[in-house]
Amino acid sequence: MIISRNISLFPYNTFGLDVLADFFAEVDSVDSFRALMLDSVYETNERLVIGGGSNILFTKDFKGLIIKNNIQGIEEKKLSETEVLVKAGSGLPWHSLVIWSIAQNYGGIENLSLIPGLVGAAPMQNIGAYGVEIKDVFHELEAIDMQSGELAKFQIQDCEFGYRESVFKNKFKNKYFIVSVTLRLANLQQPSTIYKMKTAYGDIQHTLAEMQADGTSIKQVSDAVIKIRQLKLPDPKELGNAGSFFKNPTINSAQFEKLIAQYPLMPNYPNVSNKEEIKIPAGWLIEQCGWKGKVVGNTGSHLKQALVLVNYGKASGSEVWQLALAIKKSVLEKFGIEITPEVNIY
Ligand code: FAD
Ligand code: NAP
């Protein structure tokens, strides 16, 4: 097992932050992870698993061991005439799994097209976009207990999935290394499979119409999602970012009534996991506080989506974090709403 020292994490985080890690190792199997566990560097240091680094903000050098995941592979198994189980190695890029599924005509994750990062981090925050979350198609995952080295299986009820949340982001943070994720997808190769695509969300319908597509294939829906995302979101290869920096907050109906009276144009959606609450897009709140498109030193809030904080090239992680704190404070002062980061801060 090769463990490198003083490695720059610049190529390993989509914010493009040039921080150093004391130690760095890559694993490509359960065995190689267990071999790493035997090294004294593993034993004596703080450890952090990374995938694509697209949901991490490093505010300083990492004093410990970075474990870069590179576990590959896709296996499939028939579950029934209409459903298939697809087991993916956690080091596979998420979007390549989506593209593979579409090529097989397996439905369920087409709305999650073009989300950066690797398969192993997808359950971590229950990735979601355009009305679909990974929990909707989740079957099970395998993970190594980072203390004992034992392999455990997690079923859906064990994962405590919520809005951009799971047990792995909370109680089990840095306790398990996810090695594979199995999804239950609709087998559209079978003409008898009944499958309803989700196209009601956001601009999907409108984009399908623009593309002169009738919205009857998962490939069309994926293409529409890709088109919308490419128009709206900054490509981390060109402008460092980690997607939405904050989660969309939810408020109770009393607070909602008060705010909507004051801001009649405030967008709002029901919170699907709690009927008593209303979801308010954090991007709108941030925009109303005057941050959208604002450049602050080497950082800023993106011109097309205020929720995305960007690195204009030379930002430090702490600069991005200071901006995030200033945004958070102004949203609290103006609306009385506490917004919390979606991005993992280190
Ligand atoms: P990393 O950033 O490497 O890691 C994230 C966290 O997961 C860290 O705490 C890490 O320790 C942990 N982790 C990573 N791999 C493992 C593993 N194998 N086992 C245990 N823990 C692990 N997210 C959405 O939900 N929806 C979107 O639509 C979306 N759009 C985005 C658009 C852009 C342009 C960008 C830059 C980001 C976007 N994101 C979105 C955020 C991000 O891409 C996802 O959260 C993604 O799943 C992160 O994957 P990653 O491999 O990069 O994780
Ligand atoms: P948008 O369409 O501008 O909408 C803003 C917010 O309003 C979204 O975050 C979404 O919440 C909510 N929303 C919009 N239409 C909705 C509906 N019909 N029902 C319920 N909620 C609705 O959002 P966007 O920034 O372009 O993003 C589009 C999708 O991609 C969203 O689902 C978003 O979560 C996802 N995305 C995520 C990231 C990330 O890093 N996490 C980055 C980019 C895009 P939800 O977020 O709850 O869906």
Of 176, 130, 136, 138, the closest CA to residue 155 belongs to 138
Task: Write the Ramachandran bin of 247: left for phi over 0, alpha for psi from -120 to 50, otherwise beta.
Answer: beta
In terms of domains, do 207 and 340 share one?
Answer: no
In terms of domains, do 14 and 116 share one?
Answer: no
Contact (CB, 8 A) for 192 and 111: no
What number is the average pLDDT over the span 231-235? 95
What is the per-residue pLDDT across 11-47, written as a single tens digit (0 to 9) for each?
A: 999 999 999 999 999 999 999 999 999 999 999 999 9
In terms of domains, do 290 and 318 share one?
Answer: yes
Is the pLDDT reported for residue 245 higher than 90? yes
CA 243 to ligand 1 center in whole angstroms: 9
In terms of domains, do 203 and 329 share one?
Answer: no
Whose Cα sits closest to atom 22 in ligand 1? 121
| Identity of residue 181 | V
pLDDT at site 273: 78
pTM tops 0.95: yes
Give the CATH number for residue 306.
3.90.78.10
In terms of domains, do 250 and 128 share one?
Answer: no
Structural domain total, the chain: 3
In terms of domains, do 226 and 256 share one?
Answer: no
In terms of domains, do 99 and 205 share one?
Answer: yes
Q: Which ligand is nearest to the CA of 344?
A: 1
Alpha helices, DSSP H only, in 47-105? 94-104
CA 122 to ligand 1 center in whole angstroms: 6
Q: Which of 27, 52, 69 is the last residue of a domain?
A: 69
Whose Cα sits closest to atom 7 in ligand 2? 281
Q: Which of 19, 43, 69 is the last residue of a domain?
A: 69
Is the pLDDT reported for residue 1 higher than 90? no
Distances (CA, A) of 271 to 42, 95, 138, 288, 315: 41, 27, 21, 21, 35
| Residue from 27, 96, 124 whose mutation best tests the ligand 1 pocket (most atoms within 8 A of CB) | 124
In terms of domains, do 78 and 65 share one?
Answer: no
Contact (CB, 8 A) for 166 and 67: no
Give the CATH number for residue 18.
3.30.43.10
What is the per-residue pLDDT across 75-121, written as a single tens digit (0 to 9) for each?
A: 999 999 999 999 999 999 999 999 999 999 999 999 999 999 999 99
β-partners of residue 317 are none
In terms of domains, do 167 and 264 share one?
Answer: no
Alpha helices, DSSP H only, in 200-341? 204-210, 218-232, 253-262, 282-288, 317-335
In terms of domains, do 156 and 116 share one?
Answer: yes
Q: Which of 232, 266, 295 is the last residue of a domain?
A: 232
Boundaries of domain holding 58 = 4-69
